[in-house]
Amino acid sequence: MSSPVLEIVDLHKRFGALEVLKGINLTMHQGDVVSLIGSSGSGKTTLLRCVNLLEEYEDGVVAVAGEQIGYTKKNGKRVRLSEREIARQRAMTGMAFQHFNLFPHMTAMHNVMLGLIKTRRMKKDEAHSVAEKWLERVGMLARRDHYPGQLSGGQQQRVAIARAIAMNPQLMLFDEVTSALDPELVNEVLSVVRDLAKDGMTMLLVTHEMQFAHDVSSKVIFMDDGRIGEEGPPDQLFRQPKSERLAAFLKSSKFS
Amino acid sequence: MDYNFNFAAVWRDFDLLMSGLGLGLILAVISIAIGCFIGLLAAFGMLSKNRAIRWVSAGYVSAIRNTPILVLILFTFFALPQLGIRFGKIESFIVTLSVYSGAYLTEVFRAGLIALPTGLREAGLSIGLTEFGTKLNLIIPVMFRNVLPSLSNNFISLFKDTSLAAAIAVPELTFYARKINVETFRVIETWMIASLMYVLACYVIAAVLRQVETRLAIPR
Amino acid sequence: MEIVRAFDAIWAARWPILDGIANTLLISGLSILFGTALGVGVGLLLSYGGRIVRFFVRVYSDFLRGTPVFVLILACFYILSVIGLQLTAFQAGIFALMLFCSSHVGEIVRGALQAIPPGQTEAAKSIGLTFRTTFFSVLLPQALRQILPTWVNTATEIVKASTLLSIIGVVELLLSVQQVISRTYLSLELYFFAGFVFFLINFVIEKAGRIVERKIAIPT
Ligand SMILES: Nc1ncnc2c1ncn2[C@@H]1O[C@H](COP(=O)(O)OP(=O)(O)O)[C@@H](O)[C@H]1O
Ligand SMILES: [Mg+2]
């Protein structure tokens, strides 16, 4: 069997004196969809950001497709990779943010094309047709010449997902992609994510939409104060929580 | 008050005044272009992780902003040659005005950079751009568009500051106004026309820049 | 050794230079004082004047702000004497700086009053306050806090602009230093010295402004 898409071994992350991740282990294979649930402040976002190297981590290993992310060993010492290497590694994973983070000065089309041209070194024409394909997939082709400021939140998020996925990443990271949206816009984004899962995209996602997590995931992880509190197939986790904490959390998030 | 107005004496030299106005505009355009470059560097400098770089950038801004521009002009033109740094008077003035505007633009750009959402940089990094690529493609273009109104204001006051080039005999509008004043003794007419020219030029520049601002503004 | 000569030259000319500094402070202080008084009037008329009054005050303010200070100083210096007002260069210079200051203070006051939410006036009316009481007890205290930082900035602008009076022969700090330069040719050191003294004056003004600002800040 080929190496796992994502392998996290004993990951520790600290903000000053505050230890936010206290030894995380996680292995994901091609096509896995893993959902992270848990109360606010439990470290879900931080975990995702470590995988995308938007945060540095002190201890442990994060490897994507068999390659350690961010660091290498030199003479037995752990040293950070060069900026260029890190940029290359970041492009191996795609990230969709809670607040979309579209580039406000570019049209939907150019938002998707930028990474293809600058990072993937595509010709303009090629980038254009790849971008077209993905905008079509997320149902945003008709709005390709609109600027982010001219789109609704749900539309912006779909463009942002197209931007990340067009880079053809090995792994997609979704950080609460619907929690900044008005309720009536949530479904258009969730259905895009659902389609991607159906197509076999490997995905690690943070969500507060419990029904969605239940339907889409191959595995659900309950994060509790920087540790994995409980993990397993969705049915088991949602129907038969072992710990008090998970049961309480599920009750408060009204999973039915 | 028995003063006989005679505008004809001043109108005769109106083309001189116009050429002076034109030179002032050119000086302001060149200086703000160089000033933008300096200001961008110093603004990133002020936000740098390196304490020495922060300190140098802040020192530059604070020193220039608290020193009268006339002292800077005279210093560049009369004192720097003592160190073997010699310019013609126009070049000397452009150097001064660029360094001067750079300090003010540093503040503008710094505020613009701070106001950007952190997500902009992170989104750039997440699609594999380097820090430099993020600055070049995202941070600077977005910040620049956001600060256009302050940039316009800075340009207008820079244009007015070109009047000080007369102090080192650069032939711009104020220089010619003084010349005509002395030669014709049409004191009131000369200064009325000169200041009206400045005021109207400021109005026109402001109107043009407002057009440019709406043209370049990020659509929303 | 040039440095030592420069210190000697400054020491030898300490009384004229101190006189120059005193003049700079006097010119700036009087201009700011009169200019602020006039400017508050301008700001009030811009905010509460009738349409016709507002129009004329707007023209006054725009004209003064569109004209470079240097041109304003030259115009006042030459024109005032032609129309029979026998003012010294010192007085004409202060007059020009006062006008300049008034237009800027006017805009600051107008902006600050405008920035107060209309709900404040309505709330005051609803508890039965007269316009007078509303203005002095509700609007002015809020506006003053917003005015202070920009007003301090204007004050430093006036200090810097006061150097322009050297060109019409007022012996303020810059001209007193230039007189030493013309005897010693130590332009590098002495312009540097002049710039440094101005830096200090403005630095003190800004620091003082910050302290007052913090003292009167509304707790949040
Ligand atoms: N940049 C940061 N600096 C300091 N503390 C942070 C930072 N980012 C997150 N934290 C802290 O780390 C903890 C985990 O945050 P986060 O990963 O955002 O949680 P979640 O996404 O599960 O709500 C929280 O206590 C948060 O306050
Ligand atoms: Mg989070």
Q: How would you class A141 by CB atoms within 10 Å of its CB: exposed for 0-12, middle for 13-18, buried for 19 or more?
A: middle
d(CA B77, CA A161): 57
d(CA C199, CA C96): 23
Would the CB atoms of B130 and A83 count as touching at under 8 Å? yes
Residues of A with CB under 8 A from a CB of B: 52-54, 83-84, 87-88, 90-91, 93-95, 97, 99-105, 114-115, 118-120, 147-150, 160, 163-164, 167
d(CA C126, CA B28): 52
Taking the CA of residue A42 as reference, the ligand 1 atom at the shortest distance is: 22
The predicted pLDDT at position B1 comes to 57
Cα C129 from chain centre: 34
d(CA A155, CA C201): 55
The pTM of the full predicted model, rounded to 2 decimals, is 0.91
Q: Is the pLDDT of residue A207 over 70?
A: yes
d(CA C73, CA C66): 14
B194 within 8 A of B13, measured Cβ to Cβ: no
Phi, psi of B132 (to 5 degrees): -65, -45
Q: Which of A163, A166, A167, A133 is nearest to A151 (CA)?
A: A163
Q: What is the dihedral of CA A38, A41, A47, A53, to 10 degrees?
A: 150
Q: Is the pLDDT of residue A111 over 90?
A: yes
Task: Write the pLDDT tens digit of every residue in C27-81.
Answer: 999 999 999 999 999 999 999 999 999 999 999 999 999 999 999 999 999 998 8
A144 within 8 A of A107, measured Cβ to Cβ: yes
Q: B50: alpha, beta or left, given left = phi > 0 and alpha = psi -120 to 50?
A: beta
Distances (CA, A) of C207 to B39, C149, C203, C213, C214: 24, 11, 6, 10, 11
d(CA C148, CA C154): 10
Q: How far is the CA of B112 from the centre of ligand 2 (A)?
A: 27
Q: What is the DSSP letter of C84?
A: T
Ligand nearest to the CA of A49: 1
Where are the domains positioned within chain B? 8-216
Distances (CA, A) of A244 to A222, A229, A250, B111: 12, 10, 10, 49
Evaluated on CA atoms B76, B79, B80, B84, the torsion sign reads: positive
Shortest CA gap C27–chain B (Å): 15
> What is the H or E stretch that residue A244 is in?
helix A244-252
Rounded (5°) CA angle B211-B215-B219: 135
Q: Is the pLDDT of residue B2 over 70?
A: no
The predicted pLDDT at position A1 comes to 57
Task: Write the pLDDT tens digit of every residue in A159-168.
Answer: 999 999 999 9
> What is the number of alpha carbons within 13 Å of residue C31 lying toward its C-beta?
33
The predicted pLDDT at position A74 comes to 86
- CB contact set of C197 (below 8 Å; sequence gap of 6+): C21, C173
Would the CB atoms of B218 and A115 count as touching at under 8 Å? no
Q: How would you class C204 by CB atoms within 10 Å of its CB: exposed for 0-12, middle for 13-18, buried for 19 or more?
A: exposed
Structural domains for chain C: 30-216 (1.10.3720.10)
Residue linked to tokens 């004056």: C201
DSSP A124-163: HHHHHHHHHHHHHHTT-GGGTT--GGGS-HHHHHHHHHHH
The predicted pLDDT at position A256 comes to 52
Residues in B touching C188 (Cβ below 8 Å): 75, 79-80, 82-83
Q: Is the pLDDT of residue A171 over 90?
A: yes
The number of C-beta contacts closer than 8 angstroms across A and B is 82
d(CA A162, CA B100): 45
C180 reaches B (C-beta below 8 A): no
- What is the length of chain C? 220
Chains that touch A (3 or more CB pairs under 8 A): B
Distances (CA, A) of A249 to A224, A229, B58, C1: 10, 11, 50, 78
The predicted pLDDT at position A241 comes to 92
The token pair at C151 is: 């007003």
Task: Write the pLDDT tens digit of every residue in B20-65.
Answer: 999 999 999 999 999 999 999 999 999 999 999 999 999 999 999 9
Q: Give me the mean pLDDT over the A188-195 stretch.
A: 95
Residues in C touching B192 (Cβ below 8 Å): 75
The predicted pLDDT at position B138 comes to 97
B70 within 8 A of B109, measured Cβ to Cβ: no
- Quickly state the pLDDT bin for B7 (edges 50, 70, 90): confident
Amino acid sitting at position C172: E
d(CA C179, CA A197): 82
d(CA B174, CA C23): 26
Task: Write the pLDDT tens digit of every residue in B56-90.
Answer: 999 999 999 999 999 999 999 999 998 889 899 99
Distances (CA, A) of A132 to B12, B209, C161, C206: 64, 36, 58, 55
Would the CB atoms of B174 and C74 count as touching at under 8 Å? yes
Give chain B's mean pLDDT. 94
The predicted pLDDT at position B6 comes to 81
Distances (CA, A) of A225 to A21, B93, C9, C102: 8, 62, 71, 61
Mean pLDDT lowest among A152-161, B180-189, B197-206, C29-38? B180-189
β partners of residue A174: A96, A205
d(CA A149, CA C76): 51
The predicted pLDDT at position C85 comes to 85
Q: How far is the CA of A41 from the centre of ligand 1 (A)?
A: 6
The predicted pLDDT at position A228 comes to 96
The predicted pLDDT at position A51 comes to 95
- Quickly state the pLDDT bin for A89 (edges 50, 70, 90): very high
The predicted pLDDT at position B166 comes to 96
Amino acid sitting at position C188: L
Q: Which mutation among A13, A14, A15 tests ligand 1's pocket best, with the greatest number of atoms within 8 A of CB?
A: A15
- Quickly state the pLDDT bin for C122 (edges 50, 70, 90): confident
Domain with residues B8-216, CATH architecture: Orthogonal Bundle (1.10)
d(CA A117, CA A26): 33
β partners of residue A71: A80
Q: Which of A179, A172, A170 is nearest to A194 (CA)?
A: A172
- Quickly state the pLDDT bin for C86 (edges 50, 70, 90): confident
In the three-class reduction of DSSP (H, G, I as helix; E, B as strand; rest coil), residue C121 is classed as helix
β partners of residue A24: A11
Q: Give me the mean pLDDT over the A181-195 stretch.
A: 94
Task: Write the pLDDT tens digit of every residue in C156-211.
Answer: 999 999 999 999 999 999 999 999 999 888 899 999 999 999 999 999 999 999 99
- CB contact set of C40 (below 8 Å; sequence gap of 6+): C105, C106, C109
Would the CB atoms of A84 and B130 count as touching at under 8 Å? yes
Amino acid sitting at position A57: Y
Would the CB atoms of B133 and A87 count as touching at under 8 Å? yes
Phi, psi of A90 (to 5 degrees): -60, -35
Q: Give me the mean pLDDT over the A119-139 stretch.
A: 96
Higher local confidence (pLDDT), C86 or A166: A166
> What is the H or E stretch that residue A204 is in?
strand A203-206
